[in-house]
């Protein structure tokens, strides 16, 4: 499947001497390196022979290989980063020389900040989005957001392009490439079990050697019940028998290693008292359903956490779509002390856009009061309600309802 990050990779290679592809293990970073020209050399730090070649003398290695080099899993060799800085600075005006990949954000981002700031373009990858699974061309929905389009253009240009059955299949399965491409029944369950085992016992243990692995694995399972909820560290700590600082550290590990997405509260220029605790989601809906022991779609639709799961999947689809286009933006949620809530708030070059997420086809307009109030208070040019309707429609002159099936078109 063609990845939406391919165009961004080529664009960044025309700007920066080095490009970093970061994201969770098994999301397709190594596969994306296949779009590089044939004359590029590829090295994998996890392969002992490649590790030895580079680690023996990183400076000499880069002098011998001054351009067209891709290196996988660079966070495993911290000594490479200062050598990269020296090599890049010797030919600072030459873009497109190196591509590096990494699965562990905390170590990688720290090394980039210390050694490669201003010399590198960073692309955060994720498992397959629905847009990629559906095989559509560039998302018009994302283009309209980035172009700051008027609501009428959304109505004119967006139309549902996929069946509800296919969308629900993706929602249930999630987006990790290997289970999607193999699709061999029980293989998905086995693969998910092994993925969690590898994530906890290999990646996290390597990054945080003092971490209690058994407690952290228990915490990961506990996270599945928190996905989509507002997080109170003290309450979570009491449930787990851990301190609030430990819970905060665990959540930061989950976010930093791309398993969990922590969404802060929107507190800027607010006229009402708001909830300040963060909110969060397990990033992949398939992994969430596996941890919740949901075996099939029918069981998911009966599960009391179904709405949270749908909300998380839609949130990820929108955030990933913007990231894949290199958009500069931040994301939040909004909730007042009185209970009025907006599921997702985007703030970027395109302005401030509140988004409400509904699973239903028919949306009761009375439930849209919170997003309308938010738009009025912040003078938003656009508000979006993602639903499962059959067509795009305006609720008023600035608030637009868009079926999820129209997001990929």
* Per-residue confidence (pLDDT) for residue 200, from 0 to 100: 74
Q: Count of alpha carbons within 13 Å of 165, Cβ hemisphere only?
A: 0
Q: Using one digit for the tens of pLDDT, what is the confidence trace for 275-324?
A: 999 999 999 999 999 999 999 999 999 999 999 999 999 999 999 999 99
Structure tokens at 176: 């990790």
Task: List, in order of start, the domains of the chain with CATH numbers.
Answer: 5-124 (3.40.50.300), 130-406 (no CATH)
Confidence class of residue 365 from pLDDT cuts 50, 70 and 90?
confident
The 3-state DSSP class for residue 385 equals strand
* Per-residue confidence (pLDDT) for residue 21, from 0 to 100: 95
Q: What Rg do the C-alpha atoms of the chain give, in angstroms? A: 22
* Cα of 84 vs its chain's centroid, Å: 27
* Per-residue confidence (pLDDT) for residue 325, from 0 to 100: 94
Query: How many residues would you count in the chain?
Result: 409
Confidence class of residue 213 from pLDDT cuts 50, 70 and 90?
confident
* Per-residue confidence (pLDDT) for residue 171, from 0 to 100: 97
Cβ-Cβ contacts under 8 Å for 84 (sequence gap 6 or more): 18, 58, 62, 98, 100, 115, 116, 119
Residue 256 above 70 pLDDT?
yes
Question: Beta strand 120-124 with 18-22: parallel, antiparallel or unpaired?
Answer: parallel
In which region does residue 338 sit, left (phi positive, over 0), alpha (psi from -120 to 50) or beta (all else)?
alpha
The 3-state DSSP class for residue 264 equals coil
Q: Count of alpha carbons within 13 Å of 384, Cβ hemisphere only?
A: 32
pTM for this structure? 0.94
Q: Using one digit for the tens of pLDDT, what is the confidence trace for 162-185?
A: 889 999 999 999 999 888 877 677
Tracing tokens 């389009």 back to the chain, one arrives at: 149
Quote the CA–CA distance of 34 and 98 in Å, as a whole number: 14
Per DSSP, the residues of 319-337 read HHHHHHTT--EEEEEEEBT
* Per-residue confidence (pLDDT) for residue 208, from 0 to 100: 79
Question: Minimal CA–CA distance to 320: which of 129, 109, 121, 105?
Answer: 129
Strand partners, 263: 279
Number of Cβ within a 10 Å radius of residue 115: 18
Quote the CA–CA distance of 236 and 243 in Å, as a whole number: 9
Residue pair 108/22 in contact (Cβ under 8 Å)? The answer is: yes
Question: Minimal CA–CA distance to 346: which of 262, 266, 284?
Answer: 266
């Amino acid at each position: 499947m063609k990845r939406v990050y391919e165009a961004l990779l080529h664009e960044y290679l025309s700007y920066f001497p080095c490009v970093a592809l970061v994201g969770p293990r098994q999301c397709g970073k190594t596969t994306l390196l296949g779009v590089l020209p044939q004359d590029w050399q590829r090295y994998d730090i996890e392969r002992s022979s490649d590790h030895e070649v580079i680690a023996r003398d990183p400076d000499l290695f880069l002098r011998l290989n001054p351009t067209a080099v891709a290196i996988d899993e660079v966070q495993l060799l911290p000594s490479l980063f200062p050598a990269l800085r020296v090599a890049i600075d010797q030919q600072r005006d030459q873009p497109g020389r190196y591509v590096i990949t990494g699965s562990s954000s905390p170590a990688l981002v720290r090394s980039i900040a210390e050694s490669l700031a201003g010399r590198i373009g960073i692309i955060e990858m994720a498992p397959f989005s629905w847009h990629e699974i559906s095989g559509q061309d560039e998302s018009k929905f994302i283009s309209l957001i980035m172009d700051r389009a008027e609501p009428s253009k959304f109505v004119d240009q967006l139309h549902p392009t996929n069946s509800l059955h296919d969308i629900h299949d993706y929602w249930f399965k999630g987006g990790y490439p290997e289970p999607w491409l193999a699709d061999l029944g029980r293989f998905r369950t086995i693969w998910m079990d092994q993925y969690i085992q590898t994530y906890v016992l290999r990646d996290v243990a390597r990054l945080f050697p003092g971490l209690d692995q058994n407690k952290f694995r228990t915490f990961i399972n506990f996270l599945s019940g928190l996905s989509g909820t507002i997080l109170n560290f003290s309450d979570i700590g009491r449930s787990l028998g851990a301190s609030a600082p430990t819970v905060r550290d665990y959540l930061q590990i989950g976010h930093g290693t791309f398993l969990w997405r922590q969404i802060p509260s929107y507190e800027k220029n607010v006229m009402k008292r708001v909830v300040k605790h963060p909110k969060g989601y397990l990033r992949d809906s398939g992994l969430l359903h596996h941890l919740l022991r949901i075996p099939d779609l029918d069981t998911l639709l009966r599960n009391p956490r179904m709405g949270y799961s749908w909300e998380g999947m839609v949130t990820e689809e929108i955030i990933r779509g913007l990231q894949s286009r290199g958009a500069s933006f931040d994301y939040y949620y909004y909730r007042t002390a009185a209970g009025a809530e907006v599921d997702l708030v985007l703030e970027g070059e395109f302005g401030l856009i509140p988004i409400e997420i509904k699973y239903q086809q028919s949306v009761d307009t009375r439930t849209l009061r919170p997003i309308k109030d938010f738009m009025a208070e912040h003078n938003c040019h656009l508000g979006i309600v993602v639903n499962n309707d059959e067509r795009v429609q305006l609720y008023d002159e600035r608030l637009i309802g868009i079926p999820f099936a129209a997001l990929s078109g």
